[in-house]
Amino acid sequence: MGFLPVNRDDMDARGWDSLDFLLISGDAYVDHPSFGTAVISRVLENAGYRVGIAALPVWTDPKSISLMGRPGLGVLVTSGVIDSMVNNYTALKRKRREDRYAPGDAHGKRPDRAVIVYTGLAKRAFKGIPVIIGGVEAGLRRFAHYDYWSDSVRRSVLFDSKADILVFGPGEQAIVEIAGRLRDGAPLAGIRGTSYIANEIPDGAVEAASYEETAADRRRFAEAFRIEYEEQDPYRGRPVCQGHGNRYLVSMPPPMPMTTGELDEVYSLPYERTYHPMYEKDGGIRALEEVRFSITSHRGCPGGCSFCSIVFHQGRIVQKRSKESILREARILAGMSDFKGYITDIGGPTANFRNAYCKTMGKRGMCRDRQCLFPEICKNLNLDHSEYLDILKGAGRIKGVKKVFVRSGIRYDYLLADGNPAFFNELCSNHISGQLKVAPEHASRGVLALMGKEDIGVYKRFSEKYRKINEKLGKRQYLVPYFISGHPGETMDDVLELVEFLMDSGFVPDQIQDFYPTPGTVSTCMYYSGLDPRNMNEIASVRDIAEMTNRRTLIQFSKKGNGRKARELLRSHGRDDLAARIHNN
């Protein structure tokens, strides 16, 4: 069917005199199921609506989005795959030099706080039109939230943007219901997976501290966050209300989990699987390269890591596609003219969580006060890699496929807990391209506990087993562990413990992730409020950028140019023994 219209000529080619919806995105237009813009627009198209795309419009000029005329039902707004502030700035608040989601990596085409800016643009271009905001930026900022870049609590983005309704999470179910209500002239309030503004608290809702209270009192902020976090469950969750002045934000419970058939339908839609040809002259869209020949097998993650926003976005309940649907997509990839024989990934937020569901989840939802994998793996969690293994093998047997890799991350504690070694052996034998990325995140037990992660001893056991399997296979394959510096609760003693662990293991990290306080995570609540919202214990955080830089220098002691500074820092903290282990660099 081709790309959706981006101009009047495209509309004429389809015989359209008008649109039902215009979708404004802060990303370039990539018609691939890894991009939310593509999924939502194709879902609406499949439901019978006419959708046009305004990707990376000139945000100061209403004419840049009015080329296809006034849409009949509404305007959809998203900042893109990433929050615009995260996309535009590093964790040290420095301007990024490139944007992988823009043509030719050009930076500066996406405004700061894109959801607010694009909504204002739509309202100027089309007076009185309904505006629906969604995506990661809108969803994670739907409540009063701590904003790292202004170092303040901001109002819900629904109030600041003045949009009509907000969709959080993946959004396929909500957007079709919204479209139907707009078509029929029905009110938009009360749809699962959405937030709206009301003059009073609806029946059955739970009230969180108001914006004004959370902005003035950090304890009230943490208390409000806990309520918001605990209600993010489709089975037992209640609407959450939060006052903003004399009105209320009403955030409905998440939508019910999509069935396998529903997910299969979403991924069977006619995606072009590439960027729009108008970007060819600029060198294309680099973000596509990582995912073009990858396949999403499931959504959701029961891991519940404190620093991850998945609970507020896809949720903790795993929703999976069928084997047949995944293999059908693999055959599509194998038939593409530029396919070289390598499926780069079959996975999800965590690749091997496809069957990591709770045996009681379907009756009462996820546990309110327990995690699935921390401090130990729950006895009710299903431990089974057999179906995922069968899919990997099946995709590898498709004509034209040389290799199927797993690159979306492995949760190694879950892997080790599965008593059947078949998946681990197969993974090392056929699905790693020389190195496997995993995320121990830290070495300190105290920091790991705050992160909701297993003890570093589990990583050590996994690493040793990985080494032995590859040794038996005669393969030289490496682990690439990821670590976070500056997480709330991390002390200098914790940093030194991590440095010693790295020295003992012989691993030199090329990259360290500075903790980035983004909206919608437990860790960000800790960072701002100084409290762990789960138990209200006090938590200290590093807030000085120079200190963050020093900690990263220590952890990357082997990096060229860091040696002298790292030795000085270690000696200043009384660790001459560690300083002596750093070679000149």
The pLDDT, as a whole number, for residue 36 is 96
Mean pLDDT of 203-216: 97
At how many degrees (to 10) do helices 36-46 and 260-267 cross? 100
- pLDDT at position 512 is 86
211-229 pLDDT per residue, tens: 999 999 999 999 999 999 9
Report strand pairing: 298-299 vs 74-78.
Answer: unpaired
At 51-71, the pLDDT tens digits run 999 999 999 999 999 999 999
Higher-confidence residue of 374 and 208: namely 208
Report how far apart, in Å, the C-alpha atoms of 117 and of each of 58, 61, 99, 146 are.
11, 11, 18, 19
- Residue ranges of the domains in the chain? 8-190, 434-585
The two domains 8-190 and 434-585 share their CATH topology (first three levels equal): no
* Coil, helix or strand at residue 309: coil
Q: pLDDT above 70 covers what percent of the chain? A: 99
Tell me the chain's radius of gyration from C-alpha atoms: 24
Q: pLDDT higher for 274 or 558?
A: 274
Is the domain covering 434-585 a CATH 3.30.750.200 domain?
yes
The pLDDT assigned to 359 comes to 75
CATH topology for 8-190 is Rossmann fold (3.40.50)
Of 547 and 507, the one with more pLDDT: 547
Q: How confident is the model at residue 585 (pLDDT cuts 50, 70, 90)?
A: low
* pLDDT for 509: 77
**Overall average pLDDT of the 477-482 stretch:** 91
Determine the residue type at 508: V
More confident residue, 486 or 558: 486
- The residue whose two tokens read 């990821």 is 482
**How many Cα atoms sit within 13 Å of 569 on the Cβ side?**
23
Give dist(CA 392, CA 396) in Å, integer: 6
What is the model's pLDDT at position 97? 94
Q: Is residue 297 over pLDDT 90?
A: yes
Q: Does position 357 have pLDDT exceeding 90, yes or no? A: no
Distance CA 277, CA 285 (A): 10
